[in-house]
């Protein structure tokens, strides 16, 4: 155990995701040895993110204003909505440059064993957004894992009655890999979702 402030810093770093006690100690000593100006900048950045950043009132993406950049952009396609689990998924889809619609961030996926049900996610707000006739297609882009699939199943059931086109992201083989190394579930999905090679 170190004294006072050093131990407090190690404890605080240790509470961050993916950081164990040894990493926490290494980072804390890096902070001690680093330039004061660099560390002041880090402290200011942490303070600013807590002071300025909030969630977009429409899509729940992170934003410094009432509405995020994407919800404010008039050039985005208002008829297509992509539903994702987290804000970082918005960035992942944006990097593809193949989607020009808007987003809705659920804030997680349905995971009852972790105490997360539909009520803990932004599903009610999604239903409210779909009540006007602007949106014609909802793309469910939850993670391709069990919780993501179950959330997709739940959303599809909820949205079926609204008469909107509901699609789910395709799943299958990763680009650049060998077929023999694909696992059974992924390869099975790739077969189920095969498409015509002509046209």
User: Can you give the binding site for another protein, defined by CB under 8 A?
Assistant: 17-18, 110-115, 117, 144-146, 149-150, 153-154, 157, 174, 177, 181-186
Nearer to another protein, 134 or 193 (CB): 193
Least CB distance to another protein at residue 27 (A) = 14
Nearer to another protein, 113 or 198 (CB): 113
* H or E element in which residue 127 lies: helix 123-129
Report whether 181 contacts 166 (CB < 8 A).
no
Nearer to another protein, 100 or 157 (CB): 157
Helix (H, G, I), strand (E, B) or coil at 150: helix
Least CB distance to another protein at residue 29 (A) = 20
Nearer to another protein, 70 or 110 (CB): 110
Question: Is 116 exposed, middle or buried (CB count within 10 Å of its CB: 0-12, 13-18, 19+)?
Answer: middle
> Cα 150–172–78 angle (5° rounding)?
65
What residues contact residue 34 under an 8 Å CB cut-off, 6+ apart?
none
Least CB distance to another protein at residue 31 (A) = 21
> Cα 176–178–181 angle (5° rounding)?
125
Least CB distance to another protein at residue 11 (A) = 19
Least CB distance to another protein at residue 94 (A) = 18
Nearer to another protein, 38 or 117 (CB): 117
């Amino acid at each position: 155990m170190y004294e006072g402030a050093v131990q407090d810093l190690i404890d605080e770093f240790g509470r961050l995701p993916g950081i164990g006690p040894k990493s926490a100690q290494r980072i804390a000593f890096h902070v001690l040895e680093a330039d004061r100006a660099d560390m002041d900048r880090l402290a200011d950045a942490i303070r600013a993110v807590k002071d300025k950043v909030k969630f977009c009132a429409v899509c729940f993406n992170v934003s410094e204003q009432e509405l995020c950049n994407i919800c404010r952009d008039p050039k985005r396609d208002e008829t297509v909505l992509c539903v994702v689990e987290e804000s970082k998924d918005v960035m992942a889809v944006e990097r593809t440059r193949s989607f020009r619609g808007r987003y809705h961030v659920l804030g997680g996926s349905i995971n009852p064993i972790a105490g997360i049900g539909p009520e803990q996610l932004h599903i009610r707000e999604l239903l409210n957004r779909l009540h006007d006739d602007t949106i014609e297609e909802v793309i469910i882009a939850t993670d391709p894992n069990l919780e993501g699939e179950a959330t997709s199943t739940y959303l599809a059931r909820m949205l079926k009655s609204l008469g909107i086109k509901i699609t789910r992201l395709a799943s299958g083989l990763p680009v650049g890999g060998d077929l023999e190394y694909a696992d059974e579930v992924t390869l099975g999905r790739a077969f189920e979702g095969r498409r015509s090679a002509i046209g």
